[in-house]
Amino acid sequence: MSRLALGVCLLMLTAPASAQDAESWRDSAYRLSAEVQRVRDSLSQDDSQIEEIARRAGLVVSATSDYRALAQEVLDRFDAVRRRWFGSALPGAAGFRITLRSGESWSFGRRTNRPQSIAIAGLPDADEALRQAPFVPDETLGDAERIVQHLLGEYGSLMMASAPAAIRDWLRAGMLLSLAEDSRRERAMYSLVTGVGKAQRACVQGDAAGCAHALGIRRSADPGAGAAYYPLVRADLLLAALEQGGEGAWTRLIADQGASAEQGLAAAAGIPVETMLLRWRDGLLALQPDRGPLDLSAAGLILGWSALILAAGLGIARWV
Indicate if 183 and 262 belong to the same structural domain: yes
In a domain, 295, yes or no: no
Indicate if 197 and 110 belong to the same structural domain: no
> Which pLDDT value is given to residue 109?
54
> Which pLDDT value is given to residue 221?
85
pLDDT band at residue 17 under the 50/70/90 scheme: very low
Indicate if 186 and 279 belong to the same structural domain: yes
Indicate if 138 and 78 belong to the same structural domain: yes
pLDDT at 125 over 70: yes
| Cα dihedral across residues 178, 183, 187, 189: positive or negative | positive
Indicate if 17 and 67 belong to the same structural domain: no
Residue 16 belongs to what domain range?
3-40
CB 74 within 8 A of CB 92: no
Element (H, E) at 24: helix 22-44
Q: How far is CA 67 from CA 51, 58, 73, 113, 141, in A?
A: 10, 21, 10, 17, 9
Indicate if 219 and 250 belong to the same structural domain: yes
56 - beta bridge partners?
Answer: 59
Q: How many CB atoms lie within 10 A of CB 105?
A: 8
Q: Rounded CA gap, 210 and 212, in Å?
A: 5
| Cα dihedral across residues 48, 53, 55, 56: positive or negative | negative
CB 95 within 8 A of CB 123: yes
pTM of the shown model: 0.73
Indicate if 170 and 280 belong to the same structural domain: yes
In a domain, 248, yes or no: yes
Burial of 176 (0-12, 13-18, 19+ CB in 10 A): buried
Q: Rounded CA gap, 101 and 132, in Å?
A: 10
Indicate if 146 and 211 belong to the same structural domain: no
Indicate if 140 and 187 belong to the same structural domain: no
Tell me, rounded to whole angstroms, the distance of Cα 196 from its chain centroid: 28
In a domain, 304, yes or no: no
| Cα dihedral across residues 285, 287, 292, 296: positive or negative | positive
Q: Rounded CA gap, 243 and 223, in Å?
A: 33
Write out pLDDT tens, residues 57-99. Answer: 899 999 998 889 999 999 999 999 999 999 989 998 999 999 9
Query: Among 145, 162, 179, which residue terminates a domain?
Result: 162
Tell me, rounded to whole angstroms, the distance of Cα 6 from its chain centroid: 34
In a domain, 201, yes or no: yes
In a domain, 231, yes or no: yes
> Which pLDDT value is given to residue 302?
45
pLDDT at 2 over 80: no
Q: Work out how many domains the chain is built from and give that number.
A: 3
Indicate if 150 and 170 belong to the same structural domain: no
Indicate if 198 and 262 belong to the same structural domain: yes
In a domain, 310, yes or no: no
For the chain, the first-to-last Cα distance in angstroms comes to 79
pLDDT at 163 over 70: yes
> Which pLDDT value is given to residue 36?
47
In a domain, 95, yes or no: yes
In a domain, 104, yes or no: yes
Indicate if 86 and 157 belong to the same structural domain: yes
